[in-house]
């Protein structure tokens, strides 16, 4: 037989028997440690001294924040370290073995649980793994679980809110005289954290507390981890805040539409219904807490103002058929518009944050920006329609257009859209209307079918009118 073949056979035998010897040493070590070991006895060297247990928590992922039920669901890794003097050995006597893995139910473990647990199946949510035992007696237990904890959700500044949720860990049966619970570090471990799509993790801190309960006079230490979360408002800004602001802007334009126009009532009721739909959307996603969100308060107040204004417009339209006047609501329109605008400005100022505005611009997506630009254009078109209605129904009561506006619209803007109003004004001169049969200006003369009836003009309008044609008639 060649030397190469012999070397190969000896190598294979060495590997086989070497593993067998290693397994034999580990089996002998496990039997040496666990024979006669009682997992129900606290492994303290002195029964009068507390056993120190170091507790650490690693936040892996925030699965869900349920605002309606006020429950936080997290994926966490739990680390607990203590010293068991019954599990010490001399490594040289067991082929240099320094660390072994033992099933968790074979050794003593602290009954540390989550005090603010909100999961009815808490025992099945925790994955119990093997414990790591060192030759010095140090025991490390690394477990993993999906925890559902109660959290006091504050939605006052929704969707620009920050939430503070705590995870309170402590022993259920061992008091501070038997078990000394210590925190592993001042901050929780976030080295393996996976970002959440709705919330940003601001801080993950740990603190140790000692509390006294009514059941027992002994102190009970606990380790409390505080999770600070900041909501990412981009989704709500483009799908909730922006539509509400634009609906509010359209509602303000209701006060600019003349009262004799039927579109005034239609526009006011449409804005009221739209605001009601958005308030119902907010109500479905938020908990019924004592702190009402500012967006709900603002929407309710604006909706009340719109409802009051719509009712006033209906009454006014019924009176207009008797009095033939369209100036009765001018003062109330100003009051309503000032109040509604003040509520909108107060709401925006309450939620103003320049740093947050920068985050909105930085985190914006193409779809969100497209949606925002589209809805802004629709609102702008509605505003132009309101202005057109106002000019159309104003008639001879209208004021003279300022010169800068005429120059901007009829000259510069007209050239951009390839229109020329100068030639039309030269070719078709406008003649002032003439009175017929010496009829006073405020009366209603008999006109033919082809002629249209002029608007009713009050004495106040005669004295304050700025129309050139009307002034010429008055001079005659």
Q: Which residue has the higher pLDDT, 283 or 40?
A: 40
Q: What is the pTM of this model?
A: 0.60
Tokens of 405: 């506006």
Render pLDDT for 256-309 as a digit per residue (tens, 0 to 9): 666 666 666 677 677 777 777 777 776 666 666 656 555 556 656 666 656 655
Q: What is the pLDDT of residue 13?
A: 41
Query: At residue 48, does pLDDT exceed 80?
Result: yes
What's the rounded mean pLDDT across residues 333-353? 51
Length of the chain: 476
Contact 333, 312 (CB under 8 A): no
Question: Rounded distance, CA 205 to CA 187, Å?
Answer: 4
Render pLDDT for 429-438 as a digit per residue (tens, 0 to 9): 555 555 555 5
Q: What is the pLDDT of residue 376?
A: 61
Closest-CA residue to 82 (of 32, 128, 29, 132): 132
Q: What is the dotted CATH code of the domain comprising 24-231?
A: 2.70.170.10
Q: pLDDT grade, residue 366 (50/70/90)?
A: very low
CB atoms within 10 A of CB 276: 15
How high does pLDDT run on average in the chain?
71
What's the rounded mean pLDDT across residues 181-208? 92
Contact 245, 280 (CB under 8 A): no
Q: What is the pLDDT of residue 404?
A: 80
Residue 137, by phi and psi: left (phi above 0), alpha (psi -120 to 50) or beta?
A: left
Closest-CA residue to 297 (of 339, 344, 260, 337): 344
- Residue 173's Cβ-side half-sphere holds a number of Cα atoms within 13 Å equal to 5
- Residue 133's Cβ-side half-sphere holds a number of Cα atoms within 13 Å equal to 25
Q: What is the pLDDT of residue 80?
A: 94
Mapped onto helix, strand or coil, the DSSP state of residue 240 is helix
Query: At residue 466, does pLDDT exceed 50?
Result: no
Question: Rounded distance, CA 76 to CA 24, Å?
Answer: 36
Question: Rounded distance, CA 122 to CA 44, Å?
Answer: 28
Lowest mean pLDDT among 158-167, 372-381, 394-403: 372-381
- Whether residue 331 is preceded by a cis peptide bond, meaning omega within 30 degrees of 0, is no
- Residue 221's Cβ-side half-sphere holds a number of Cα atoms within 13 Å equal to 17
Query: At residue 469, does pLDDT exceed 80?
Result: no
DSSP-derived secondary structure letter, 409: I
Q: What is the pLDDT of residue 250?
A: 73
Q: pLDDT grade, residue 139 (50/70/90)?
A: very high
Residue spans per domain, the chain: 24-231, 235-309+329-417
**How far is CA 443 from each of CA 205, 328, 434, 455, rounded to the nearest angstrom?**
82, 21, 14, 10
Query: At residue 447, does pLDDT exceed 50?
Result: no
Question: Rounded distance, CA 114 to CA 78, Å?
Answer: 11
Question: Rounded distance, CA 161 to CA 316, Å?
Answer: 43
């Amino acid at each position: 037989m060649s030397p190469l073949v012999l070397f190969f056979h000896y190598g294979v035998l060495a590997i086989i028997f070497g593993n067998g010897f290693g397994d034999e040493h580990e089996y002998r070590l496990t039997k040496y440690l666990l024979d006669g070991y009682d997992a129900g006895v606290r492994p303290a060297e002195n029964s009068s001294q507390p056993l120190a247990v170091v507790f650490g928590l690693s936040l892996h992922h925030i699965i869900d924040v349920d605002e309606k039920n006020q429950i936080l669901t997290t994926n966490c890794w739990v680390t607990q370290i203590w010293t068991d003097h019954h599990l010490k050995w001399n490594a040289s006597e067991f082929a240099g073995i320094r660390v072994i893995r033992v099933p968790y139910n074979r050794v003593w473990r602290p009954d540390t649980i989550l005090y603010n647990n909100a999961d009815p199946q808490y025992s099945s949510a925790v994955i119990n793994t093997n414990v790591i035992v060192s030759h010095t007696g140090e025991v490390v237990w690394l477990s993993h679980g999906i925890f559902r904890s109660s959290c006091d959700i504050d939605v006052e500044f929704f969707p620009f809110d920050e939430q503070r949720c705590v995870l309170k860990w402590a022993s259920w049966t061992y008091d501070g005289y038997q078990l000394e619970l210590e925190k592993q570090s001042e901050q929780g471990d976030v080295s393996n954290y996976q970002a959440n799509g709705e919330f940003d993790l601001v801080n993950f801190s740990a603190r140790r507390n000692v509390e006294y309960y009514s059941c027992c006079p002994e102190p009970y230490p606990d380790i409390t981890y505080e999770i600070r979360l900041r909501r990412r408002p981009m989704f709500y800004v483009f799908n909730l805040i922006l539509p509400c602001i634009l609906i509010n802007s359209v509602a303000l334009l209701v006060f600019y539409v003349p009262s004799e126009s039927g579109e005034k009532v239609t526009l006011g009721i449409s804005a009221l219904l739209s605001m009601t739909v958005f308030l119902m959307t907010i109500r479905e996603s938020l908990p019924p807490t004592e702190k009402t969100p500012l967006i709900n308060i603002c929407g309710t107040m604006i909706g009340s103002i719109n409802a009051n204004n719509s009712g006033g417009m209906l009454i006014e339209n019924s009176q207009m058929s008797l009095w033939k006047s369209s100036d009765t609501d001018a003062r109330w329109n100003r009051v309503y518009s000032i109040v509604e605008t003040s509520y909108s400005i107060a709401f925006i100022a309450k939620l103003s944050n320049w740093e947050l505005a920068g985050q909105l611009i930085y985190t914006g997506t193409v779809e969100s920006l497209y949606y925002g630009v589209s809805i802004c254009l629709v609102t702008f078109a509605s505003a132009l329609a309101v202005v057109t209605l106002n000019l159309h129904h104003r008639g001879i009561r209208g004021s003279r257009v300022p010169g800068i506006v005429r120059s901007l619209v009829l000259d510069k803007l007209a050239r951009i859209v390839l229109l020329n109003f100068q030639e039309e004004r030269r070719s078709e001169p406008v003649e002032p209307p003439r009175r017929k049969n010496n009829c006073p200006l405020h009366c209603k003369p008999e006109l033919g079918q082809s002629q249209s009836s002029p608007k009713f003009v009050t004495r106040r309008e005669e004295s304050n009118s700025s129309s050139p044609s009307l002034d010429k008639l008055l001079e005659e």
